[in-house]
Amino acid sequence: MIAEISNFETSTLLSPREKAAIRYADVLAGEHQKASTELFDDLRAHFTEAEIIDLGLRIVTFVGYGRLIHALGLEIGHTCPIPTADTGT
């Protein structure tokens, strides 16, 4: 199913609801200025207002994590040590 994401618009495995969610993620992760009335009309055909907000918050949280990881120069699989009271490091 993951392989379908790059060609999601023509996928026969993804539902219209899943395609709407991917479109939303594409816009929020890329050119968020392109969020349009048409996008939200499509989302409302598949999701409640609360679901649209929840989905949007989840999308931007993960996008933000990715941008932070990139800015810090971390690689996937690496961890950032958390200082503890007993070690101070």
pLDDT tens sequence across 34-60: 899 999 999 999 999 999 999 999 999
Digit-coded pLDDT (tens) for 4-28? 788 899 999 999 999 999 999 999 9
Q: How far apart are CA 67 and CA 60, in angstroms?
A: 10
pLDDT of residue 24: 97
Q: How far apart are CA 22 and CA 58, in angstroms?
A: 12
pLDDT of residue 82: 67
The residues, ordered by sequence, that sit 6+ positions from 56 with a Cβ below 8 Å of its Cβ are 24, 28
pLDDT of residue 4: 76
pTM of the model: 0.77
17 is written with which tokens? 């609801």
Q: CB of 37 within 8 A of CB of 11? A: no
